[in-house]
Amino acid sequence: MKFYQYIYSLLLITGLASCNKFLDVSPKNSVSDATTIVDKSSAETAVRGMYNSLASGSYYGTSFQSIGYLSGDNIARTGPSTDPSQFIDHNVTADNGTINSVWNAIYNTINRANHVIAKVPAVDDIRLTQELKNQLLGEAYFVRALAYFDLARTWGGVQIVLEPTQSVQDKIGVKRSTLAQTYAQVLKDLETAEPLLPPTLNRVRATKNTVWALRARYHLYQKEWAQAESYADKIINMTNNYKLISPYNSFWANNVVATQESIFELSYSAATPNSHRGSWQPPEKGGTRVWIPNNAFITLVSDSTIGGSRNTLIARTTGGLWYGNMYYRSPATDPTFILRIAELILIRAEARIQQDKIEEALSDLNIVRKRAGLTNKTGLSKDETLLAIENERRVEFAYEPHRWFDLIRTGRATTVLSITNPNKLLMPIPISQINADKATEQNPGY
In a domain, 364, yes or no: no
The pLDDT value given to residue 252? 98
pLDDT in tens, 80-111: 777 899 999 999 999 999 999 999 999 999 99
Q: Is 166 within the bounds of a domain? A: yes
Q: Are 46 and 184 in a shared domain?
A: yes
Residue 137 CB neighbour total at 10 angstroms: 21
With a pLDDT cut of 70, the percent of the chain lying above it is 91
Residues of the chain with pLDDT > 90, as a percent, come to 88
- Same structural domain for residues 127 and 274? no
Same structural domain, 182 and 317: no
Residue 376 lies in a domain: no
- Does residue 10 surpass a pLDDT of 50? no
Domain count across the chain: 2
Is position 147 within any domain?
yes
**Based on the domain organization, do 188 and 278 belong to the same domain?**
no
Same structural domain for residues 191 and 272?
A: no
Domain boundary among 334, 365, 381: 334
Q: What is the pLDDT of residue 21?
A: 34
Arithmetic mean of pLDDT over the chain: 92
Contact at 8 Å (CB) between 314 and 387? no
Residue pair 172/138 in contact by the 8 Å Cβ criterion? no
Check whether residue 181 and residue 96 sit in a common domain: yes
- What distance lies between CA 355 and its chain's CA centroid? 27
CA dihedral sign, ordered 213, 401, 16, 36: positive
Please write the tens of the pLDDT for every residue from 198-226. Answer: 999 999 999 999 999 999 999 999 999 99
Indicate whether 186 and 319 sit together in one domain.
Answer: no
Which amino acid, one-letter code, is at 248?
Answer: Y
Q: Is residue 5 predicted with pLDDT exceeding 50?
A: no
| Together in a domain, 163 and 50 | yes
Q: What is the DSSP letter of 418?
A: -
pLDDT of 29 > 90? The answer is no
Asked whether residue 263 is assigned to any structural domain, the reply reads no
Q: H helices then E strands: how many in the chain? A: 18, 6
For residue 216, being part of any structural domain is answered with no
Tell me the pTM: 0.92
Contact between 113 and 147 under an 8 Å Cβ cutoff? The reply is: yes
Is the pLDDT reported for residue 406 higher than 50?
Answer: yes
List the single range of 38-52, 77-91, 148-162 with lowest mean pLDDT.
Answer: 77-91
**Which of residues 299, 334, 369 is at a domain's end?**
334
Answer whether residue 23 shows pLDDT above 60. Answer: no
pLDDT in tens, 299-325: 999 999 999 999 999 999 999 999 999
Q: Identify whether residues 162 and 306 lie together within a single domain.
A: no
Give the pLDDT of residue 282.
97
Q: Does residue 392 sit within a domain?
A: no
Q: Residue 266 pairs with which residues in a beta bridge?
A: 336
Mark which of 334, 350, 373 sits at the end of a domain: 334
The CATH number that applies at residue 160 is 1.25.40.390
pLDDT digit string (tens) for 378-399? 999 999 999 999 999 999 999 9
- Residue 35 belongs to domain spanning: 1-197+417-423+432-439
pLDDT of 169: 59
236 located within any domain: no
Distance CA 160, CA 178 (A): 10
